[in-house]
Structure 1
Amino acid sequence: MLKFYFNGAPNPTKVALFLEESGLPYELVAVDTRKGEQFKPEFLKINPNGKVPAIDDDGVPVFDSNAILLYLGEKTGKFLPPDTPNNRAQLLSWLMFIATGIGPYSGQAVHFKHFAPKDLEYAHNRYQYEGNRHYKILDDHLAKQRYMVDDTYTIVDMAFWGWARMAPFALGEDAYTKYPNVKRLVDEVGARPAAARALALKDKFVFKTEMDEEAKNFMFGHLKAKVA
C-alpha cells in the first residue's frame, strides 16, 4: 500500500487532497518537523531533501509535492485535462509556476513576515513584493477561466489550493480583496468534501505546536549552520 508521509503544512495538504479525491488507499505516516523527524534515516531514504511530503508507492519513492501530484495523476489517469498538446503544455507550465514561484515565494513571505527577526526590512519587502507579483499573475489568469487549465479541475488546482488558501497569512489580510479570482477558486476547491477530509487528517495526530529553540533549529537550519 502507498505510504504518505504527511503533516498539516501546505505542501502535504496538496497531496492529501489528491488522495482523498481519488480514493486511492494509503497509509498515513506523520512527520513532525518541529521535532526533527524529517531528518530520521528512514525518512531520508524516501526523501533525501528532508522535506515533507513524500510517498512510498510499494517501493517507489517520490518526493516534492508537485512531482507527487504529477506522478499520481499520470499513474491513475485522474485529475488531468483532456489529452491535447496545448492542455499538456498548460498543465506543466502552471504546475511548474506553482512549484517554483507560488510555493517558494509564499513560504519565504511567511518566514520573513512571521518568524524572522523584525529588522530585516529588505528581505521582508522583497518576498512580499514577489509573493504579490506571483498572485497577481494567478488572479489575472483565473479572471479568464474557471480553473487553472481550461475548464477542468486538475492536479494544478490542487497544487494551487495548497498554498493559495494561506494567502492572507503570507501576504496580509487584504490578499483576497486584491485577488478575488484567487479567492473564488480557493473557495470552490475548499468546498469540496475531499478538501475537508484532507484538512482533517492533521487532527489524527498530535503535532508539536511550540516554536521553541529546538523547533527553530530543526525548521530553520541556517540558525545553527556555519557558513564558510
Structure 2
Amino acid sequence: MIDLYSWPTPNGHKVHIMLEECGLPYRVIPVDIGSGAQFEAKFMALSPNNKIPALVDSEGPDGRPIGLFESGAILLYLAGKSGRFLPQDASGKYEVLQWLMFQVGGVGPMLGQAHHFRVYAKEKMDYAIQRYSSEAQRLYAVMNKRLAASTYIGGKEYSIADMAIFPWLRSWKNQGVELGDYLHLKGWFDEIAARPAVQRGLEVLADLRRPLLDDKARENLFGEAQYKKH
C-alpha cells in the first residue's frame, strides 16, 4: 500500500492526480501545513525539507518499503512502478523529463513567488511583484509556444510533465496572468481539467483546504518557524 502524506497545494495535487491516473491503491494522510504539522518529527523523518508531499510504499523495489520526498521524484517513482505516463523509448523519456525539470526548477518556484508577493506578503513590494509577475508571464509564453507545436507539454502523449505543470496554472489570476492571452496553453489547460482522474485528484483533501492568511499560518509557512531547528 502507498501512504501519501500531503496537503491540497499544487505540489500535493500533482501526485494526487498521478495516483488517480495510474490507478495504484493509496491512502492519504493530511499534513496541515498551516498549523505546522510539517515540522512534526514523524513527518520530518520522511521529508527532511519539511515540504509536502512525501510517500511511503510498503511494496517498493524488490518488495522492500521505500520512502520518498520531493514531488518530482515521487512522480518518477510512480511512473516506474506503474509503467505509465513516461515513455519507454529513450528519446521520448528525456523529452518528458526536460519538461518535468522545467516545472520543478522554474514553473513551481517562480509562480510560487509571484503568488506569494501578490497575495501572501503583508508588505507589498512593487519590485518583487513586478519581477515575479513578469517571470510568470514569460513562463506562460514558453509553455504556450511549446503547445503550439506539441499536443502535450512532454510530447505527443499525456505524461507526468502535464500532471506536474497543470496544478500550478490553476491560480493564474493570483500570478498576474490572463490565461486567455495564451490560446494554445488555455486549450491544453481545459483539456487536462476535463480528465476524470484529474478532477478526482483535485478533490483529494479539498474539504480541508482553507485560506492560509492568518498569522499562525504565515509564521509556519513564511516566518521564523521555517528557520528553527526541528
Normalising by structure 2, what TM-score? 0.90
- Runs of 4+ deviating beyond 6 Å: none
Residue of structure 2 in register with 1:192 after alignment: 195
Post-superposition shift, 1:191? 0.4
Residue of structure 2 in register with 1:214 after alignment: 216
| Superimposed CA distance per residue, residues 10-32 of structure 1 (whole angstroms, 9 cap, x where no aligned partner) | 11000000101111111110011
Alignment partner of 1:202 is 2:205? yes
Counterparts of 1:160-175 in structure 2, within 5 Å, are: 160-172=165-177, 174=178
2:72 and 2:212 map into 1 onto residues whose CA distance is 28
Residue 34 of structure 2 aligns to a residue whose secondary structure is: helix
Residue 56 of structure 2 aligns to a residue whose secondary structure is: strand
Residue of structure 1 in register with 2:62 after alignment: none
Aligned partner (choices 86, 94, 103) of residue 99 of structure 2: 94
Aligned partner (choices 58, 82, 86) of residue 80 of structure 1: 86
1:142 and 1:161 map into 2 onto residues whose CA distance is 13
The answer to whether the 8 Å contact 1:32/1:208 transfers is no
1:117 and 1:210 map into 2 onto residues whose CA distance is 12
Post-superposition shift, 1:210? 5.2
1:196 and 1:213 map into 2 onto residues whose CA distance is 31
Normalising by structure 1, what TM-score? 0.91
Identity of aligned residues (%): 38
1:146 and 1:50 map into 2 onto residues whose CA distance is 36
Residue of structure 2 in register with 1:129 after alignment: 134
Residue of structure 2 in register with 1:45 after alignment: 45
Post-superposition shift, 1:212? 1.6
Post-superposition shift, 1:225? 5.3
Runs (5+) with no aligned partner, structure 1: none
Residue of structure 1 in register with 2:6 after alignment: 6
1:219 and 1:85 map into 2 onto residues whose CA distance is 39
The answer to whether the 8 Å contact 1:142/1:181 transfers is yes
Runs (5+) with no aligned partner, structure 2: 59-64
2:168 and 2:197 map into 1 onto residues whose CA distance is 16
The answer to whether the 8 Å contact 1:35/1:208 transfers is no
The answer to whether the 8 Å contact 2:219/2:225 transfers is yes
In structure 2, the CA distance between the partners of 1:199 and 1:119, relative to structure 1 (3 Å rule), is closer
Residue of structure 2 in register with 1:183 after alignment: 186
Instruction: Give the CA RMSD over aligned residues.
Output: 1.8
The count of residues paired between Structure 1 and Structure 2 equals: 222
Residue of structure 2 in register with 1:139 after alignment: 144
Residue of structure 2 in register with 1:157 after alignment: 162
1:150 and 1:207 map into 2 onto residues whose CA distance is 33
| Superimposed CA distance per residue, residues 123-143 of structure 1 (whole angstroms, 9 cap, x where no aligned partner) | 111111111111111110001
